[in-house]
Amino acid sequence: MSSVRILYITSLFTFLLIIASCHSDGTTKDNYETTISPPNSIEQEAPDDVLPAPGAGPQYRANIIQQGGENPWPPIPTTDVMLGSGSDQVHVTYRAYMETAPRETRNNIIKVTIPYNNKVIDLNFGIYTDNVPAGISLVNGMSWCGPNRAASVLVIKSSQDIPPGLYVFNIGLEINGKDYGTIPCTIKVLE
């Protein structure tokens, strides 16, 4: 077994142990179901594969650069939004826009951070979806939590016969029993 594969398996095991300690209620609406599965295998590397990063939670493969290594992909762009106000304000980072071909799978890491001055350590974090277009299916790939932060990976699959075009749906966030509303996600299906 190669040292890269051993490192990957060890990192994945550690990551799954961290996931098991999270408080995620897996709230669902529309065609969103909760599962925990490992990221895509190493043989099928893609820029938006999800990999564990110690202390930082899930990261896109394209956004992790090994020391002394070169990254074959441009970074995956993300959008930052603030939801709530005052002591209930949270910082959310996610992919608001992505492109895909029919039958492809894309990952969207939704990260939530609560300012440390709010003195919240454990997060009960769940996501849900609304207005999911036909031809798009969603699965919760994994969840992660750390002090004042949490993340959920939304795995987005497009069907074989989905026509090219723009598809928009909403991702809702529920944190510590409070619904923070929704953020839009746009998928451009290519020909």
Sheet with 79-83, side-by-side order of all strands: 32-34, 136-146, 149-158, 105-113, 90-94, 79-83
- Which class for 80: exposed (0-12), middle (13-18), buried (19 or more C-beta within 10 A)? exposed
Domain ranges of the chain: 3-61+76-189
Tokens 């992909």 found at:
73
Q: Divide the 191 residues of the chain into consecutive groups of 10 and give the mean pLDDT of each group.
A: 45 42 40 38 75 86 82 91 89 96 95 74 84 94 86 95 96 92 96 87
Give the CA count within 13 Å in the CB-facing half-sphere of 166.
6
**How many angstroms separate the CA atoms of 66 and 1, rounded?**
20
Q: Which of 146, 108, 97, 139 is nearest to 125 (CA)?
A: 146
Give the CA count within 13 Å in the CB-facing half-sphere of 128.
14
Determine the pLDDT at residue 8. Answer: 46
pLDDT tens digits, one per residue of 97-127 = 999 999 999 999 999 998 766 555 667 889 9
Average pLDDT, the chain: 79
Q: Which of 91, 89, 94, 90 is nearest to 79 (CA)?
A: 94
Q: What is the pTM of this model?
A: 0.76
Determine the pLDDT at residue 70. Answer: 81
**How many angstroms separate the CA atoms of 191 and 16, rounded?**
36
DSSP per-residue letters across 121-158: ---BEEEEEESPPTTEEEEEEEEEEETTEEEEEEEEEE
Determine the pLDDT at residue 11. Answer: 46
Superfamily of domain 3-61+76-189 in the CATH hierarchy = Immunoglobulins (2.60.40.10)
At 46, the amino acid letter reads: A
CB atoms within 10 A of CB 145: 22
Determine the pLDDT at residue 118. Answer: 59
Determine the pLDDT at residue 12. Answer: 45
Determine the pLDDT at residue 72. Answer: 84
3-state SS class at 94? strand
Determine the pLDDT at residue 121. Answer: 61
